[in-house]
Amino acid sequence: MEDLNKHIAQLREDFMRGTLDDETVEKNPFLQFQAWLKQAVEAKVPELQAMTLSTVANNKPSTRVVYLREFEAGNFWFYGNYTSRKAQQLNQNPNACLNFFWPALERQIRIEGVVKIAASDLSDNYFRSRPRESQIGAWASNQSSALNSRKELEERVEHFEKEFEGKDVPRPHYWGGWMLEANYYEFWQGRKSRLHDRISYYQTPEGSWQMARLAP
């Protein structure tokens, strides 16, 4: 363990791939997100849709990686089981944070906002677009609940494969989407000597966006 700690302590990376300039950055944070996402697509960043979702319930934070599946005008959608741990936490406290980290571009985006259940037609449409194996998996997995063994899960998969054999798989009532409505953004661009660029956007009570540069 001592060797590992020594190795971690000595790791250094000088970020030199880009800048984030106050004069050229978009004044609307959603447009800035869109621009950076497009650049990540063009750069073929792996797993660029992966984002850390952070929730807080009973004053205890919890994080996990989920996939961004849709976005539009400051709203961000992700999907899962409505009985899961994250669902229970979001029911208790809908304030949440999303974080994208793209090491290949030395960039990070933090988005805070309020989460609500997605419209059922959107959840239906997305569920229909999933591979059949994933649709069956949504029925088979009581997400976040304890399993006696891996075999128990596999048996549930077999059960629902037989139940829906030759038929379309319907969306379970306990599975669907959430939408985060953003009220804060922060864009981070790595820079040399840890003097990073950080630009934040916060929403005023009137709904307009104010921009500020933050110390690294």
d(CA 167, CA 175): 19
Active-site entry in 17, 128, 194, 213? 194
What is the length of the chain? 216
Active site residue 110: no
| Ramachandran area for residue 175 (φ above 0: left; ψ -120 to 50: alpha; else beta) | beta
DSSP H or E segment with residue 7 = helix 2-10
Does residue 33 contact residue 74 with C-beta atoms inside 8 Å? no
Please list, in sequence order, all residues whose beta carbon lies within 8 angstroms of the beta carbon of residue 105, skipping any fewer than 6 positions away. Answer: 17, 18, 36, 39, 40, 43, 45
| Ramachandran area for residue 106 (φ above 0: left; ψ -120 to 50: alpha; else beta) | left
The residues annotated as belonging to the active site are 194
